[in-house]
Structures are given as structure tokens and as C-alpha cells.
Amino acid sequence: MTSYVDFPALRLPTFDFVDPEAIADSDIEDAATQCRHLWGLGTAVIPDLALAVESAGIVLVREETGVAQIEGLSAWSAALERPFILLSSDKANAFRSRFDLAHELGHLILHRHIRRAEEKERYNLLERQAHRFAGAFLLPAESIAMDVRTPVTLDSLLLLKQRWGVSVAAIIMRLVAIGVLSDDDKQLLFKRRSARWGVKAEPGDDLWKPEQPRLLRRSVELLISSKLVPREFLPKHFGLGQRDVEMLCALPDGYFSHSGEVIQLAQLRSGNLTVGTQTGSGTVLPFSRNLR
């Protein structure tokens, strides 16, 4: 696909960490701050994290895995020189999915040059660091501290959950990390949370829909609308089954079995298509929150 379509330029802060033991909490906080600054997000709530990630050149896929333990995976492609993130869609919880995405972003930034761990202790360290990054990225310290009302209650945290798009459990952990809550406060709040709601779900989980990838879908739509590849032959062009391409590219079921409206949302690489007397510039149009 990249032979025909220019994806957004990759924009990630770069770090040369090779030993996770050498990564301090302050390094993680700095990495999250740098990423927000690079993406022009400031310190406010991120309206659509999936959109921000794809606009920074990361390829995002959301697909059913059938494996309960897998909530997200990430890796760098040496061939494409850009990272990929896979999010599991098995659990349709927007708050968990959003945190999982920030978690995988943390792995890509902090652990690019670090071998993925097989030893349990090393694996747990990498996971804790990615969790710390996710909290710092989604909930900047000064902003969330200003939003917290004391004494902190579960009801006040539910309001913050809907404002920031982060679960009550994750907000509690973030408030501990930045010193707003003590370990004793954390234990008390988690006991109350478990007693009121159980350990898996929280009130308001159904008020947000999981954020959806757009980049691959729009690329497919562009290829078809430009008549470079007939719709019904595109899966064979990729060497995949129709359903596989539909799931990977967030296309509706049966997309390749019937015709439908195709909206052009990006531009082809130079030399691949001529429209009238002008040739495509090969620049990807910026994503917009209004383009769903």
C-alpha cells in the first residue's frame, strides 16, 4: 500500500534507552511531555487518541484476537521504518482501549532499542514503565492535579473519568504517582471501588465508544476511488482474504462484495495518478476530527 499512498510523516520523540533499569520515572514523565509537545496537544484532554496516533505516522489496527490476555501489541517495522500498534477489540471498553493504546505508545517510545523481555521480573518492569507513560501521557500532572477535588471520592473520580477518558482505577494510580494520594488512600479507594462496583467494570463504561482507526481504511478507499485497483480484486492484491482486509482496515462487513460510496481523504504518491492536467503531490491530507 505504501507503494501508492504516502502515510503521514512519523513524529515521535527519540530516546536511546538500552537498559530498562536506567529509565527513571522522571525520564518517563519527560517522554510523555515531549510527545504531547511534538504533537501539539498541550496539557488538556486528548479528544481522540487514535486520531492523534495515526496523524503522527503510526499504523493502528483494531481487531479481535480471541485471546483474553492480549489487549495490545506494538512493534517497529524495519521495512517500512514506522511502528504498528494492534489493539484488541474483544472487549468493547473505550476507557481500557484508550489506556492500552497509550501503553503501547509508551513501549514504542521508551523501549524501541530494548529487547522484549522473557524473564518475568524484566517483563514486569517494562510493563510498569509503559503504564507510567500511559498515565503521564493521558493525565498530565499539573492538569489532573488542578482538576482533583479533595477529599478524593469515587463519585468525584467518576466525573474525572468522563472528562479525561480514563478509568477511575487508572486515575487513582496516576494520583498516587504524582503524590496527590498516598498508598493508604489508594488502598482505601480500591476497597471502596471493589465493594461498590466489583473489580472489572465501572459506572459509565458504556458512555464512550472505542476510538476507531482511520488511516488504513482511508488508504483503501483512495486506491479504489482512484481506480488503481478494482474493489473486488484488492484483497488478492494484498494476498489476503476479503474478511481479513476488512478487519485489518476497519472496513464494514461485505465491503468487497458490493459497491458503495467512496470518499477521497488522502492523496496518492507522485506519478501514480493524473487528474486532469495536475499530478497528485503525494502529500497526505491532515486528519480532522469531523471526518469519521
pTM score of the predicted model: 0.84
Pairing of β 82-88 and β 59-63 = parallel
CA–CA dist 85, 206 (Å, integer): 24
Strands laid side by side in the 82-88 sheet: 59-63, 82-88, 72-77
- The least confident of 155-159, 178-182, 275-279 is 275-279
**pLDDT exceeding 70 applies to what percent of the chain?**
85
Looking at residue 71, what is its pLDDT? Answer: 84
- As a whole number, mean pLDDT of residues 64-72 equals 75
pLDDT higher than threshold 50 for residue 275: no
Q: What is the pLDDT of residues 243-253, one digit of tens each?
A: 888 888 889 88
Burial group, residue 282, by CB count within 10 angstroms (0-12, 13-18, 19+): middle
Triad 6, 7, 10: Cα angle to 5°: 125
Looking at residue 160, what is its pLDDT? Answer: 98
pLDDT higher than threshold 90 for residue 48: yes
Higher pLDDT, 279 or 193: 193
Confidence of residue 2 (pLDDT cuts 50, 70, 90): low
Q: How many CA atoms lie within 13 A of 228 on its CB side?
A: 19
- As a whole number, mean pLDDT of residues 211-236 equals 87
Find cell 494492534 and name the residue.
86
Tell which residue, 165, 149, 147, 152, has the closest CA to residue 204. 165
- As a whole number, mean pLDDT of residues 56-74 equals 84
State the average pLDDT for the chain: 87
Pairing of β 278-279 and β 274-275 = antiparallel
Q: What is the pLDDT of residues 81-128, one digit of tens each?
A: 899 999 988 778 999 999 999 999 999 999 999 988 789 999 999 999
Looking at residue 63, what is its pLDDT? Answer: 84
Confidence of residue 194 (pLDDT cuts 50, 70, 90): very high
Looking at residue 80, what is its pLDDT? Answer: 83
pLDDT higher than threshold 90 for residue 1: no
- The least confident of 50-64, 221-235, 257-271 is 257-271
